Chains A and B, each alone.
Chain A
Amino acid sequence: METIDSKAYLDMDLLRFTTAGSVDDGKSTLIGRLLYDSKSIFEDQMEAIELASTGKGEEQVNLALLTDGLRAEREQGITIDVAYRYFATPKRKFIIADTPGHIQYTRNMVTGASTANLAIILVDARKGMVEQTCRHAFIASLLKIPHIVFCVNKMDLVDYRQEDYEKIKSDLEAFASKLEISDVRFIPISALNGDNVVDRSEKMPWYEGSTLLYTLENVHISSDHNHVDCRFPVQYVVRPQKDEYHDYRGYAGRIAGGVFKKGDQVMVLPSGFTSKIKSIDTLDGELDEAFAPMSVTITLEDEIDVSRGDMIVRENNSPQAEQNLDVMVCWLNPKSLVPNGKYALKHTSKDARCMVKEIKYKVDINTLHRIEDDKEIKMNDIARISLRTTSPLFFDRYDRNRITGSLIMIDEATNETVGACMVI
């Protein structure tokens, strides 16, 4: 029997990535390939999809059926909703958000991208860069995914020709240079045959870069969190009804940025009161310091009024505290944005309401040009808008902090999440 080294398992880190591409670019096949070649598919899952593939009269086992979990998806052969998949190699543990390429489901791509460290964008080697590719690359850069890997897929269908790959690569490079992406990579692959996915392709000796799996295992992610600006949104106040903790008031939350240390001088927003960190508590004992994205409970030396929605920060490094802010919004709902409309809003642990004061411009995702004459914001549109909130929010620019720089808009009548906003 194979023995798992539990110590090594405990040392692995976590990479969250998203996959995007147009319909039929082979996303699901690629994920199936990664799971299959890293031996993360079990026999009964394989049997189930073999059975389903033969049932549909397909000759090869359709790896896409592994991720297309909903009945409607399997029937139509498309991915409707974000599907999460998991696999691990001895180096790293992976969470994949497989997002649909279908145009009306772009909101799912935004969803998958919002928590990702890395994005894989698939491009069909026969078609090259298409409108969807631009859209996906733009969304990935808008959501500040730190690493983007363009996989030029279906190389087998262009006879593994280097010139085809180089042409697509230079088109993509030209487009990507217009976006703010810190780390862009390109890999020619065939997801169907496994070329350059896990194993190096023998058919493309001209390609000297890493395989996709090697890239996923080795990309540097520990600096993806902000460890500079201390931000602690208070989520919940712990007040034990126990004799031994009679006067205990603990502020529970997940650190959104920076490093908090016992004894640190801190300030609470919005009150502006200052105090010192008395302790950082966990069930496993007190900690000397805590950093993003840890969940801890902080107690303060002084008895001051702190509740959910407040934020604990360092005195000399405050976020912006404003009622007026400009955001890039990605609209997620079939009902268009209402100019001057009022919406509920959630930002870190804070609830508020807002009014859309101004629609500044929409972005043409293909050319990245500003559209200033058509200001109707429909589903899948991306626009810059100005909001006025009922009470001040404590925020940073999204490119500085993905947690304190993001917020969602909610339709107060339907309670649906309608807008994903990034502070600029």
Chain B
Amino acid sequence: MNYSLTHLKELEAESIYVLREVAAQFERPALLFSGGKDSIVCFHLARKAFFPGNVPFPLVHVDTGHNFPETIEFRDNLVEKYGAKLIVGSVQKSIDEGKVVEETGYNASRNSLQTVTLLETIENGKFDCAMGGARRDEEKARAKERFFSHRDDFGQWDPKNQRPELWNIFNGRKHMGEHFRSFPISNWTEMDIWQYILHEKIEIPSIYFSHQRECFKRDGVWYAACDFMKRKPEEEVVEKTVRFRTIGDMTCTGAVESTASDLQQIIDEVASTRVTERGSRIDDKRSEAAMEDRKKQGYF
């Protein structure tokens, strides 16, 4: 018998370990769930971690109101299928209550407004640890994250003063009012996620697969034509065969032209693409340190 694990099995074991540590060390953890593939994989891992028990924490979705309808439908089906508990924080509500001001103009996005709603949802739910499906390979500021990431009582991240994280011993001790973010799939790459989804036969929203869609082009990126985005006069709507590599808001997630209609085709496409998945996310392109700045304020 050869006592070695493949890398995906080792990553799975590590993530399950992290999820169980969170459940054991915190009183009210929650899993941030966007309906994107990474949070879907996190939920799948959570089912594994606590089997045959139920997942012992709720899913928290910060709804910008600008989601793809397919994502919301998928989320609701998943919650029903597995009897999960869902808590929705609404950015629209934060806008209506005057807590945030909607951006205007052609590139208006609710992406940065999410942070306020997220922190408020965490506070209202008295959650002491919010888990998320962020991966270190996604973005250079995320490459510096810990599995257990401390947030001060303003929900802020201090990247220069992080607690050292040694072996697999996670220090989740905190003072009143502080909370943690935890990232169980920190060590997975985009390719790992896709291979795992294929191998484990995990369901994902339809918009990851190739489909026909009304799109328009801005700054070289195809966007889904929708009511949430104001088009410039020269931005013409055309029907394209596209799919989405990541799922964020309709206003900040670009489509890629693709005919990949099953997981194996997506994997082949991911393997041959020379642009990162966040390359189609304009929220990261606002400045060189866009992600770091948002994370410091409490962005996921």
Contact = CB atoms under 8 A, between A and B. Distances in A.
B8 A293 contact: no
Contact of B199 (A10, A13, A348): A10
Interface stretch (A168-176, A315-323, A384-392, A412-420): A412-420
Given A240-B53, A248-B52, A294-B13, A406 B169 contact: yes
Interface stretch (A18-26, A38-46, A354-362, A368-376): A38-46
B268 interface: yes
B20 A45 contact: no
A167 interface: no
A67 B275 contact: no
Contact of B143 (A85, A238, A293, A344): A85
Interface stretch (B60-68, B114-122, B186-194): B186-194
B51 A239 contact: no
Contacts of A9: 191, 195
Contacts of A6: 195, 198-199, 264, 267
Interface stretch (A104-112, A189-197, A268-276): A104-112
Nearest to B187: A95
B23 to A, nearest CB: 6
Contacts of B261: none
Contacts of B272: 1-2
Contacts of A406: 166-167, 169
Contacts of B6: 10-14
A93 B20 contact: no
Given A83-B143, A295-B20, A406-B166, A254 B171 contact: no
A350 to B, nearest CB: 10
Interface stretch (B73-81, B134-142, B211-219, B234-242): B134-142
Contact of B144 (A69, A344, A410): A69
Contacts of A253: 20
A240 B198 CA distance: 29
A386 to B, nearest CB: 20
A295 B52 contact: no
Contacts of A248: 52
A84 B186 contact: yes
A83 B163 CA distance: 14
Contacts of A81: 144, 159-160, 162
A215 interface: no
Contacts of A107: 164
B20 A235 contact: yes
Interface string A59-89: 0000000111111101000001111111010
B51 A111 contact: no
Interface in B33-50: 47-50
A122 to B, nearest CB: 20
A337 to B, nearest CB: 15
A84 B175 CA distance: 28
A241 interface: yes
Contacts of A297: 51
A188 interface: no
A227 interface: yes
Chain B's interface size range is 35 or more
Give the one of B5, B11, B144, B164 with max A CB within 10 A.
Answer: B164
A3 interface: yes
Contacts of A291: 3
Contacts of B160: 70, 72, 80-81
Given A84-B136, A283-B47, A295-B16, A43 B164 contact: no
A417 B163 contact: yes
Find the residue from A9, A108, A250, A346 having the highest chain B CB count within 10 A: A9
A403 B168 contact: yes
Interface in A106-127: 107-108, 110-111, 114-115
Given A70-B159, A83-B144, A108 B164 contact: yes
B288 A82 contact: no
B252 to A, nearest CB: 15
B232 interface: no
A74 B269 CA distance: 32
B24 A281 contact: no
Interface of A: 1-4, 6, 9-14, 42-45, 48, 52, 66-72, 74, 80-86, 88, 92-93, 95, 107-108, 110-111, 114-115, 221-222, 225, 227, 235-236, 238-242, 245, 248, 250, 252-254, 259, 281-284, 289, 291-295, 297, 308, 332, 344, 346-349, 402-403, 406-408, 410, 415-417, 420
Q: Which 8 residue pairs of A and B lie closest in terms of their CB atoms, listed nearest first? A: A69-B140, A14-B7, A222-B4, A295-B16, A240-B53, A44-B279, A415-B173, A283-B51
Interface of B: 1-14, 16-17, 20-21, 23-24, 47-54, 136-137, 139-141, 143-144, 159-160, 162-171, 173-175, 186-187, 189, 191-192, 195, 198-199, 264, 267-269, 271-276, 279, 288-289, 292
30 contacts: A1-B268, A1-B269, A2-B272, A10-B195, A12-B6, A13-B5, A44-B276, A48-B288, A52-B288, A81-B144, A81-B162, A83-B140, A84-B136, A84-B186, A88-B191, A93-B192, A236-B23, A236-B24, A236-B50, A242-B53, A250-B52, A252-B50, A294-B9, A295-B14, A308-B24, A348-B169, A406-B166, A406-B167, A408-B171, A417-B164
